[in-house]
Amino acid sequence: MANEMVVTSLNQAQSFMAPMVKFNKLTVANLEKMMHFQYPALMSYADIGLGQMKVAAEVTSPEDVSAFFKSQMAATALRHKMLDDVKEFADMAMAFKADFDQLTQENHPPEPRPTIPTKAAA
């Protein structure tokens, strides 16, 4: 009898904890995906920035200034890369939200809303 109560309690605890375990796994997987995305992006931004700083440090004449400003067209490429990265990051965030919403609905379906009688029905 006591053994059955322990087994029942453990089963109830498992079913209670299952949604939280799924949420934790979903969160960890999402954080890992975002980290793997952000780290290389950060490195590429740093490389581009350091490259521009190195070129700027070599400016010593008016001709160098002119060449430096022409080389700043690379900043346009950086801006496009950053916009693409922001869009991809937003897509990942939306996918996480969709997965989270699905998990929520699986474990807590929405309750029906009470209907409010209208004047015509009264």
Distance CA(95)–CA(33), nearest Å, equals 11
Distance CA(29)–CA(95), nearest Å, equals 12
Taking the model in full, what pTM does it have? 0.61
Distance CA(87)–CA(80), nearest Å, equals 11
Distance CA(105)–CA(85), nearest Å, equals 30
> For 21, how many CA atoms within 13 A lie in the half-sphere containing its CB?
6
62-102 pLDDT, tens digit per residue, is 888 888 887 777 677 778 888 999 999 999 999 999 998 99
The better pLDDT of the pair 66, 36 is held by 36
For residue 18, give both structure tokens.
């299952």
